[in-house]
Chains A and B, each alone.
Chain A
Amino acid sequence: MFIPDQVWLRCEQNPNAVAVEHGNSKLTYGQLADVSSRYASRLNNLGLARQERVVICLENSIEYVVVFYAIWRLGGIVVPVNARSTATELALVVRQCSARLIVTSPAVASTLSKSLPESVEVETIEPSLDLFASLGLTEAIPLQQQVPLSSDDIAQILYTSGTTGDPKGVVLSHENLAINTDDIVRYLQLNQQDRVLTILPFHFSYGNSVLHTHLVTGGTVIVGFQMVFPQQVVDGLRQTKATGFSGVPTTFRSLVKLTDIAQFPPPLRYVTQAGGAMGVDLTQQLLAALDARTRLFVMYGQTEAAARITYLPPEKLNDKMGSAGHALEHIVLSIRDDDQRPCATGCVGEVYAQGGNIMQGYWQNPEASACVLTKYGLKTGDLGYLDADGYLFITGRKVDMIKVAENRINPLEIEEVICQSDSILEAAVIGVEDERTGQRLVACCVSRSGQGDSLMVKRHCAQQLVGYKVPREVVWLDQLPKTASGKIQRFKLLEQLQGLCDA
């Protein structure tokens, strides 16, 4: 069964159970079915057809979930994007996936009008206490039936920083999601009593997975908390009687360092960690801070794999410390060299993952898809090795991606934006080690006039790019180190910067 069918079944079986909770507002499963079928009818009246794309640009909220499942009810394709995206970024995605409709807040909608193609309709939602009013549903008649889905129907497109230039749309079918969700539900042993508090944005593959895995099992997803104030998250875990929590390494660094979680550990059944490797020190600090009964799952995955590839069973955590775990039930992992020949046990190569969860490809980008979809499955771009028991250890990344907190960033995208400015001759963006966020962005710029305005560079980036892509520092150089063929040598830049800092 596909995810929407599973969730509708939950709605029938257990209409009074709470599906989504936001402060004092609760959406029961019965209401989820009712309101999303009414919203589906509204979308139907707007002419949305099967497999047409709808961009959702909303913060985590009850409305987000309702709109999401309404689109699926019609057989539409959901394209969730960061609610903090700039108008430029949003317009790029809308054009790239030829979206029919965009659902967003009035504030974002007001910035968009000029940059969108005329064929795109904009629906605005102002979250309020009255869900019917905020969705504009006062007279809509529910769309009774789920439009029948087939296994290769596309469920969603998740945009990710590609390895070259523009963002890429990861195309996931209903089957991809169903297979991965099923594996995750089984190893986390999720059930109807589970209440997960999530601070991960739903547009992000990990947050998307947290949402659907809990809805298919009839559990509750608690939204409305942000890591900006970590103590409020810990207080929230206690007040809402959450049983589960999911985060990325920076989340846990904040919880361990900036909250009283260790003095009064909330009674969680499980905690999951993904979104980048977490150091052994931090993992041990987190374990020490959590209640002894809390099961900590270290996991590894990629958007291209619908979310998850491996997980480390909590009972193996000490034994296999530093490992990303073993392959999920429906995945075959292999480590291969540059000629795609298998590497021996313990030898480092590139990680490949094969299984029914691997994406269909990048939206309308056959060249990029062909680069990563091989006969051995998804070529992840991550380097690592398998030990004799089949446990994966990630050692690095093959391509020039930068990871700031949980965000994968392609430096080329930022370099292009910086170089739009006439005063910049050339620029390279690199990731410098940072104790708080793993890496931080530093823009190395060469000015035409010899004089650089760092604030101007940052301001220009902030106008075009979402906040986490704005370089934290700008350094001015006379020239960038390059190979004979003119390619920027990022490792040399990093050495140069190190030299500047040490001096």
Chain B
Amino acid sequence: MSDMEIRSQLRAFILENYLFTDDQNALSDTQSFLKAGILDSMGILELIAFLEEELGVMVAPAEMVPENLDSIDNLMAFIVNRIPA
């Protein structure tokens, strides 16, 4: 999967499940999910399940921090080299 495909999968997951739209303009890649009220404690669990089940990226407890998970850009930086081939 190319970086662009991964990014678009992540965006689609957030847009459909938390912003309830397919309008790409509704989410910028730098937007903090927390500050914008997009994700709460249940949402973050679903996001982690998505990373693990759909993309095969396992997330260790110590990695569940905003620097890794709290925007599309942060997510990309965190997972891009970890997706199994």
Contact = CB atoms under 8 A, between A and B. Distances in A.
Contact of B34 (A228, A260, A467): A228
Interface residues of B, number: 24
B61 to A, nearest CB: 5
A259 interface: yes
A443 to B, nearest CB: 12
Contact of B20 (A258, A405, A455): A455
B40 A231 contact: no
B48 interface: yes
B42 A437 contact: yes
Contacts of B42: 250, 404-405, 436-437, 468
A84 interface: yes
Interface in B44-85: 44-46, 48-49, 61-62, 64-66, 69
B30 interface: no
Contact of A250 (B41, B46, B62): B41
A214 to B, nearest CB: 22
A462 B18 CA distance: 9
A285 interface: no
Contact of A258 (B16, B48, B66): B48
Contact of B41 (A228, A459, A462): A228
A232 interface: yes
B9 interface: no
A229 B62 contact: no
B53 to A, nearest CB: 13
B contacts with A: majority SS: helix
A459 B20 contact: yes
Nearest to A440: B42
Interface residues of A, number: 26
Interface in A211-267: 226-232, 250, 254, 258-260
A404 B46 CA distance: 14
Contacts of A436: 42, 45-46, 49
Contact of B65 (A227, A232, A404, A456): A232
B57 to A, nearest CB: 15
A436 B47 CA distance: 12
A259 B61 contact: yes
Given A436-B45, A459-B21, A468 B40 contact: yes
B39 interface: yes
B65 A455 contact: no
A490 interface: no
A136 B66 CA distance: 32
Nearest to B22: A455
Central interface residue in B22, B37, B45, by most chain A CB within 10 Å: B45
Contacts of B19: 459
Contacts of B34: 226, 228
B17 to A, nearest CB: 8
A470 B20 CA distance: 10
Contact of B61 (A231, A404, A437): A231
A231 B62 contact: yes
A231 B43 CA distance: 16
A228 B44 contact: yes
Nearest to A460: B20
B21 A229 contact: no
A230 B40 contact: no
A18 B48 CA distance: 37
Interface of B: 16-17, 19-22, 34, 37, 39-46, 48-49, 61-62, 64-66, 69
16 contacts: A228-B41, A228-B44, A229-B69, A230-B41, A231-B64, A254-B45, A258-B48, A404-B42, A405-B41, A436-B42, A436-B46, A455-B21, A455-B22, A459-B21, A462-B20, A467-B43
Interface of A: 84, 226-232, 250, 254, 258-260, 404-405, 436-437, 455-456, 458-459, 462, 467-468, 470, 472
